[in-house]
Chain A
Amino acid sequence: MTGHVTTLAGPVPVVSAKLTARDRLGGWKVRWGIRRYSYTVDPGLYALGAPSDTSPVLVTANYKLSFDALRCRLEGRAAWILALDTRGINVWCAAGKGTFGTAEVARRIEAAALNQVVSHGVVVLPQLGAPGVSAPEVRRRSGFRAVWGPVRAQDLPAFIDGGLRATPEMRRVRFPLRDRLVLVPLEMTAVAGIALAVLVVAAAVAGFGPGGFSLARVLAGVLPLAAVLAATTLAGTVLTPLLLPWLPGRMFSARGFAVGAVAAAFVLPWMPPTYSTLRLAAAALTMLAGSSYLAMNFTGSSTFTSLSGVEKEMRASLPWQVAGAVAAAALWIAGGFVR
């Protein structure tokens, strides 16, 4: 915020198109899951540059990462930015939940007295807000014509210069390597916590064997398991997302299974010679079922899966994934008692 501009509807806070080091740090942190659900801006109207009553009105979510992605593409331009209250959730997900919705658009237009701020009667909505917003209904409720902007904020300058027209390419969602890469830290850290918890439980279980509890057995059992869980996490939450287009099969669970198999081929030869066959089998099952499950979990982060499709995939995959995990746990525990 860099002051206020005065409009017929009262003062409006001004924001810069330049991101500060703090903005960038905040964006980096939420990608790692730090303060992710409280990374917000206040909902309402903002001025970027020195907008007039003919400047475009760009609608976005009050997730600061979304808000920043929008304003940083508009350097040297003048525009109004209308941030909806999506409770700090990005546009696409909030549209799916309905918080980026028709009622909220109409309410914010009214609350900002937008008809006194601009004279053109048009708001530009992000295309990915469309699952929650009916453009015809916005018009009926607010009098404002809702025009669908491009999917990506980076296309906004060309969209505006082209007279609020999007090319077909601007309307398409892709899922390039860069977009998949930024999701990896969150996927990875969420799972690493679970893996650590499994490891703690396993450490307690591993001590028991022939002749009671032994600390040496804890280490001998748990250190290889740590490597197996790390490999599973890497396979399912890092390698599968990054290699997604080149992996076999349409189902994510199949793609994750393939990566899990490769991980197993790399990791199993490094297991200690004292590791029982049962525990080797448990390790293999963990990597196959685990990587497959984690890959399936990535469906929600991807841009091209459908609810019906994921349900079908889960019906096909979840039973054997769960059976594999249960069998792996049983084999691993049993493996502590035999050679």
Chain B
Amino acid sequence: MSDLRYLDDVVTLTYDRAKCTGCQQCTYVCPHGVFVMDGNRAVMRDRDACIECGACALNCDFDAIHVRAGVGCAAGIIASWFRGKGGEVSCGPEGAGAGKGTSGGCC
């Protein structure tokens, strides 16, 4: 099966190669192979494969990667509207023992 791909030219991922120290964390954590090593620095190989999970930015200790992280989940986005402005988009039940989550399927 070929790779399932989502929309092009839409993600917020930015990468400043000048800040890269070659620690390789981004190449370890990205589940879609967005970053690969080129010599002693990482390069963005496939930006449109990014799912904005935020793993690379969180694990880059050198502030080279930025992304508006969140989950690509329509049910989660709708739920965040009901939670009010600036509501974080995540999935599943809110807080401890808050009962059932959204009907949709994230988690």
Contacts and interface: CB of A to CB of B under 8 A. Distances in A.
Given A304-B51, A305-B51, A306-B72, A97 B28 contact: no
Contacts, number: 173
Contacts of B101: 37
Q: Assign chain A's interface to a size class.
A: 35 or more
Chain B binding site: helix, strand, loop or mixed by DSSP?
loop
B11 interface: yes
Chain A binding site: helix, strand, loop or mixed by DSSP?
helix
A308 B12 contact: yes
A311 interface: yes
A303 B1 CA distance: 15
B100 to A, nearest CB: 7
B6 A300 contact: no
Given A97-B92, A245-B2, A312 B74 contact: no
A173 B4 CA distance: 10
Most buried by A among B25, B51, B76, B93: B51
A81 interface: no
A309 B7 contact: yes
Nearest to A317: B74
12 contacts: A37-B99, A93-B90, A130-B59, A134-B61, A136-B25, A148-B29, A151-B31, A172-B32, A172-B33, A297-B104, A300-B71, A309-B72
Given A136-B25, A304-B5, 20 more contacts: A37-B93, A93-B90, A93-B91, A93-B107, A94-B107, A130-B58, A131-B54, A136-B61, A171-B28, A186-B105, A187-B104, A187-B105, A190-B104, A194-B103, A300-B105, A302-B4, A305-B51, A308-B68, A309-B10, A310-B77
